[in-house]
Each structure stands twice: as C-alpha cells, then as structure tokens.
Amino acid sequence: MNAHKAAPLHLDAVVVGTGFGGMYMLHRLRGRGLTVKAFETGKDVGGTWYWNRYPGARCDVESVEYQYGFSAEIARDWTWSERYACQPEIMKYADYVAKRLDLRKDIQFNTRVTSAIYDEASQRWTVETDQGDVVIAQFCIMATGCLSASRVPDFEGRDTFAGDTYHTGNWPHEGVDFTGKRVAVIGTGSSGVQSIPIIAAQAERLFVFQRTPNFSLPALNGPMDPAYVEDMRENFMAARARARATNSGSFMQANDQSVFDVDEEERRRNFEMRWEKGGFAFVTSYKDVMNKLEANKLASEFVRNKIRQVVDDPKVADLLTPTNHPLGTKRLCLDTNYYQTYNLPHVSLVDIADRPIERITSAGVVVAGEEYKVDAIVFATGFDAMTGALLRIDIRGKGGLTLQEKWEGGPRTYLGLAVSGFPNLFTITGPGSPSVLVNVIIAVEQHSDWIMDCIDHMRANGLSVIEAETDAEDRWVDHVNEKADETLYPMADSWYVGANVPGKPRVFMPYVGGFANYDNICKDVAANGYRGFSLA
Ligand code: NAP
C-alpha cells in the first residue's frame, strides 16, 4: 500500500533506477540544466550489482571494458584489480562514479516507483512511488535494467520449507555462510555456474538441480597485468571508440573467416588458442559460429569435449553436456572451476530435465519421489528478463492504455527506446535494442546520449512532445525479428525469448543486428528529423 501522498513535485524529468544506465542518464540530464530526480529501490546505486551479491558474483565482460567511456578522467583515475571484476569491486566503482559526479544528491533511495501515468491534456507524466512521492514531469526515463526482476518458480510447497531460502538476484547484504550445511542449488545459468563452486567449497553436502545444461567457458580470471593497466590508462578512450565502431561493441578481435575456410587441423588450433585465452573470445573464433548450424556444431562439439575431459564420472559429464541448443543461443556462462566442482565427493548433480521438481517440503526438495534433505535452498532461477521490471510498474500512456495491454503479445518498441502511445517515455536498453547482447555499459551510454540529444533538439525547436509512430514501431519489430531469424538464437528456449517464464509470449527481445549497425540507425533516425517519431 502506498504511503501518504506528498504534494506533487514538478520537474523536467524523472529517471527510474540507478544502475549504470540511470546514473549516466541522470548525469547527462542534470548537465544540460534540466530539473531531474532519480528513484531507486535499493539503498544505493549499482543496479543489478547492488542486488546480485551471491558468492562468486563477477562480471563476465572484462573489467576494462565494463566501465564508462564518456570521461577520460573518470577512466584514467580508476584501476581494476582483476581481469573480471567481482561484484564488490564493481560496487566500489559505482560508488566512485557516484561520488565523482555527485549523483546521490538527486537520487531518492529505498523508493520503488509504482506507477507512471501520462496526462494528454498537460502532456506530463505523473510518477508515484511506494513512499508517497508524486512527481509531475515532462519526460519519464525508465532505466530499470534488463535483468532486475528476479523470479522464483512457483514450486509446490515452496513456502513450507523450514530452512533458509535465497535468490541469487536478491542476496542478503551480510552474506551467507554455508559451512557445515546441506544445500540445494536450483538452476545452472550464469548465477548458478558462478556460485556453485564457491558454495561447494563451504557446504558439507551440495545438490545441484539442473533442468538444462548450459555451455560454460573458462574465465581464466586473474590479476590485471600491470603493463596492460598502464596501456589502458593511456589508450582506453581510443580502444573504446574502436569498440563502439564494431558490431560486438567490444575489444575482442573477431575472426572474419568462416569455419569452413580452414582445414580441421587449423580449426582445432584456432579453437584451442581462443579457448586458452579464456572468456568469450572463443565465440568469435569464426564469423559463422552464431548463424550457421553446421559451423556452430563444430564449436559446440569442441566445448563438449572439454567438459568430458574435465568431469571424471562419464554419466555426470553426459548430464552436464548441452545437447538441446547450439552454443551461445542460451546466454553463455563464464566460470572458474565449475565443471571441476562435480568431481568433489560431496557434490551431486540431480537431473530434472525430464522429471521436474515435484515439490518442496519442510525438509528439502522432492524429485521422482526422492526427497533431498537440505538446510538451505538457493534459487538461481533467473529473471523475468527485459520486460519484467517495466511491467511491474503501472505504466499508462495515451487513452489510459497500459503497457501490459500494449505488450500482451510481447514487447513492441521503436528502436528499443520508445513505445507508440507512450509519448515522452524513454526506455534505456529496452526490448528491441542490443542491450544484453553487447557490453551493456556501451549500450546505456549510447541510449542516454541519444535521448539527451533528442531532448536538446526538442528544446531548441520549441517542441514539447515526441512519440514513436505505430508504423515505425511495426517496421522495427519486424526488423528485430528478421535479424534474429538470420541467426541460431531463436532455436533455444532462453530468457532472450521469454521461455523461462511460463505464459510469457515467445518473442526474441534483444536486437541482434549489431551494436555499430544499431548506433548508425539511431543516428540516421535523428539526422532525418527523428524519422518514425511524431514531434509537436
Ligand atoms: P538464467 O540464466 O535464466 O538461469 C536460470 C536457471 O534456473 C536455468 O538453469 C533454468 O533452467 C533454471 N530454472 C528456471 N526455472 C526453473 C524451474 N521451474 N525448474 C528448474 N529449473 C529452473 O538466470 P541467471 O543464471 O540468473 O542469469 C541470468 C542472466 O543474468 C545471465 O544469462 C546473464 O546475462 C546475467 N548474469 C551475468 C552474470 C555475469 O556477468 N557474470 C552473472 C549472472 C547473471 P532452464 O535453462 O531449463 O530454463
């Protein structure tokens, strides 16, 4: 229930959420002299990193890339300690940026936005919160994140469990000590894959409940090479500019050859060389790995063999080996000692592919009539991705149309930035934009900059309302689907298509056409008088 309503505050803009997207958007809007306030459910900035404090939480984009690129000074004065930054270090970085830009003074923490309702007569959004705030603003910018609405499946008896339960995406701040405990982990996506080895190192007994084996590549994390740190201090901005001009939006050197341009021996050498580098470099081994099934099969088989080499028990190795989707079509995981963990005598893999969890009892988890007795259950069961955080807010556009109604058949946006029928509402990394398929920091910067330029344009031209046209939105949705269909991605039951949430419409949500291509489309739209938008 909402707290007592305060008198309305009139502002130019409201930003919802202060992960890396909301933080930068706030900085940009304020820098242009707009009156703006950001609301954040958490007690601090950091977004997904604020919530995902599970053991082993670590970014799978290299730390030097997972930082802002808008300020040479901010980049130069920060030093990462490891190749892949752990969650606490990313929170330190978020704190460093928040302090440097003095962001917190315009953020209201511990506050959830409950509704955003557009009034056509006044052309203003009324935004309300669970703390009783009422803000009336010209622009409403949703920086709610792609992976922020965590979900625990509705297992029968879930609430009867007598022990402790945790979700990786909403982890206690004080941490959890599993020493001497019997633990169940349900889910083997990135969060499960990262946390399982650490939980195994503490727990007396660990049961991992796996519905779908995922492909995981070795992170080969380690301390940063001091020479590289110095090189990046000098050259980061240039490297970032080069990355922004690529479709992966990353520093990775993609190989432009086809798998079939080389013989078997050369292919094996290249796969091995990229495997040895660690990280996602392996996926860029050949240009057709993600769009030709025969090419993908070769890469997939290479990884399957690696799994078989690591896992001692051939039956367990078989269960851990993904066979029902091409490599990379479900989000790839990066791990440290994930597969090795299954060689430990106190760790058991429970296959629930064809025999789902029957129920949860007060004592544990039941599968095929067998009760696995545990003291704690960790749900590593993921998120209502890309749309969940937006749809949990009561958003109403023209004519009282709710976003839920508008997106009944799946999300529809223009450029992943705007929704027809919802004027002056922008979505940072909304569905239909590259978002989760690229380095998300680059994605949020590009969106925030585009939105800022758009607002500048409106102000310079005496315009007060911008709205995506339905035709342009329809064409964009078709284009997003066409691009996805050129790849192997739609073959998997992934969260990219909403398959992890029962009843969610199956729509491929991110834009797979590449970061540079997308950026150019956005620039071209702006350069052509905001083609596909109506402005008044
Ligand atoms: P996820 O990838 O969606 O994995 C959820 C896991 O829970 C899957 O194994 C899923 O099985 C299982 N599951 C869901 N519902 C279930 C049910 N009813 N019964 C049994 N099993 C069920 O979620 P996540 O691991 O939290 O990762 C989400 C995304 O967040 C990642 O893909 C990544 O983009 C991001 N992330 C990034 C990092 C990083 O930077 N290192 C770390 C963590 C997360 P199915 O596969 O069969 O659905």
Q: Is 388 in the pocket of ligand 1 (CB under 6 A)?
A: no
pLDDT in tens, 55-74: 999 999 999 999 999 999 99
Going from the Cα of 137 to the center of ligand 1, the distance in angstroms, rounded, reads: 36
pLDDT of residue 91: 98
276: its two tokens: 């040895």
- CB contact set of 333 (below 8 Å; sequence gap of 6+): 60, 189, 190, 193, 194, 214, 215, 216, 217
CA dist 505 and 494 (Å) reads 12
Q: Is the pLDDT of residue 263 over 70?
A: yes
Phi first, then psi, for residue 347 (nearest 5°) are -115, 125
Ligand 1 pocket: which of 198, 211, 383 to mutate (most atoms within 8 A of CB): 211
Residue 494 Cα to ligand 1 middle (Å):
9
Pocket lining: 191 vs ligand 1, CB cutoff 6 Å: yes
* Percentage of residues of the chain with pLDDT beyond 90: 98
Angle between helices 264-277 and 293-310 (to 10 degrees): 60
Is the CB of residue 380 below 6 angstroms from any atom belonging to ligand 1? yes
| Average pLDDT of the segment spanning 66-94 | 97
Whole-angstrom distance, CA of residue 124 vs CA of residue 228: 49
Residue-wise pLDDT tens digits, 90-120: 999 999 999 999 999 999 999 999 999 999 9
In the reported structure, the alpha carbon of residue 332 is separated from the centroid of ligand 1 by a whole-number distance in angstroms of 10
User: Which ligand 1 atom minimizes the distance to the CA of 59?
Assistant: 40
8 A C-beta contact, residue 446 and residue 522: yes
Rounded to the nearest angstrom, the distance between the alpha carbon of 214 and the centre of ligand 1 is: 9
Q: Which among 425, 531, 509 has a CA at the least distance from the CA of 140?
A: 425
Ligand 1 centroid distance, CA of 138 (Å): 37
Residue 285 has pLDDT above 80, yes or no: yes
pLDDT at 47: 98
Residues 6 or more apart whose Cβ sits within 8 Å of residue 204: 179, 180, 181, 182, 346
Query: Structure tokens of 42?
Result: 């958490």
Averaged pLDDT for residues 389-401: 98
Give distance in angstroms: CA of 96 to centre of ligand 1: 29
Residue-level pLDDT at 29: 98
Between CA 137 and CA 11 the distance in angstroms is 5
Q: Encoding tokens for residue 149? A: 């609405």
DSSP per residue over 93-115, as a string? HHHHHHHHTT-GGGEE-S--EEE
Q: Which of 128, 130, 108 is nearest to 118 (CA)?
A: 128
- Model pLDDT, residue 4: 87
- Residue having the nearest C-alpha atom to atom 20 of ligand 1: 211
Ligand 1 contacts CB of residue 500 (under 6 A): yes
Between helix 87-100 and helix 20-31 the angle, nearest 10°, is 10
**Residue of minimum CA distance from atom 33 in ligand 1:** 190
CA of residue 406 to ligand 1 center, whole Å: 27
CB-based contacts of 435, cutoff 8 Å, min separation 6: 146, 386, 416, 429, 443, 510, 511
What distance in angstroms lies between residue 215's CA and the mean position of ligand 1's atoms? 12
Compute how many other C-beta atoms are within 10 angstroms of the C-beta atom of residue 231. 13
C-alpha of residue 187 to centroid of ligand 1, in Å? 6
* Shortest-distance atom of ligand 1 to CA 500: 48
**Cα 76 from chain centroid?**
26
- The per-residue pLDDT of the chain, averaged, comes to 97
Q: Would you place residue 346 in the very low, low, confident or very high pLDDT band (cuts 50, 70, 90)?
A: very high
DSSP 30-69: HHTT--EEEE-SSSSS-THHHH---TT-B-SS-TTTSS--
Are 342 and 320 spatial neighbours (Cβ–Cβ below 8 Å)? Answer: yes
Asked whether 187 lines ligand 1 (CB < 6 A), one says: yes
* Ligand 1 pocket mutation, candidates 89, 151, 191, criterion most atoms within 8 A of CB: 191
**192 Cβ inside 6 Å of ligand 1:** yes
Pairwise CA distance, residues 390 & 13, whole Å = 17
> Which bin fits 175, alpha (ψ -120 to 50), beta or left (φ > 0)?
left
User: Quick one: pLDDT at residue 254?
Assistant: 86
Region 244-267: what's the mean pLDDT?
93
Encoded tokens for 459: 């102000």
What does the alpha-carbon distance between residue 351 and residue 311 come to, in Å, rounded to a whole number? 16
Angle, CA 307 vertex, CA 206 and CA 357 arms, to 5°: 40
pLDDT at site 253 = 83
Residue 520 has pLDDT above 80, yes or no: yes
Over residues 507-523, the mean pLDDT reads: 97
Assess contact for 266 and 297: CB atoms under 8 A.
Answer: no
Which residues, 6+ apart, have CB-to-CB distance to 296 below 8 Å? 288, 289, 290, 326, 327, 328, 488
- CB-based contact 425:140 (threshold 8 Å): yes
pLDDT at 20: 98
CA distance 88 to 96: 12
What separation in Å is there between the alpha carbon of 483 and the centre of ligand 1?
Answer: 24
Report the SS3 class of residue 465.
Answer: coil
pLDDT at 1 exceeding the cut of 60:
no
Question: Confidence band (pLDDT; 50, 70, 90) for 488?
Answer: very high
Give Cα 34 to chain centroid, integer Å: 29
Atom number, ligand 1, closest to the C-alpha of residue 52: 43
The structure tokens listed for 397 are 């556009």
Ligand 1 in reach of 439 Cβ (< 6 A): no
Q: Is the CB of 55 under 6 A from ligand 1?
A: no
Q: Point out which residues pair with 125 in neighbouring strands.
A: 118, 137
User: What is the pLDDT averaged over residues 509-516?
Assistant: 97
pLDDT one-digit tens code per residue, 417-462? 999 999 999 999 999 999 999 999 999 999 999 999 999 999 999 9
| CA 222 to centroid of chain Cα atoms | 23
Q: Are 179 and 416 in contact (CB under 8 A)?
A: no
Atom 12 (ligand 1) nearest CA: 187
Give the Å distance between the CA of 513 and the centre of ligand 1. 24
DSSP-H helix ranges across 260-416: 264-277, 293-310, 314-320, 338-341, 388-391, 403-406
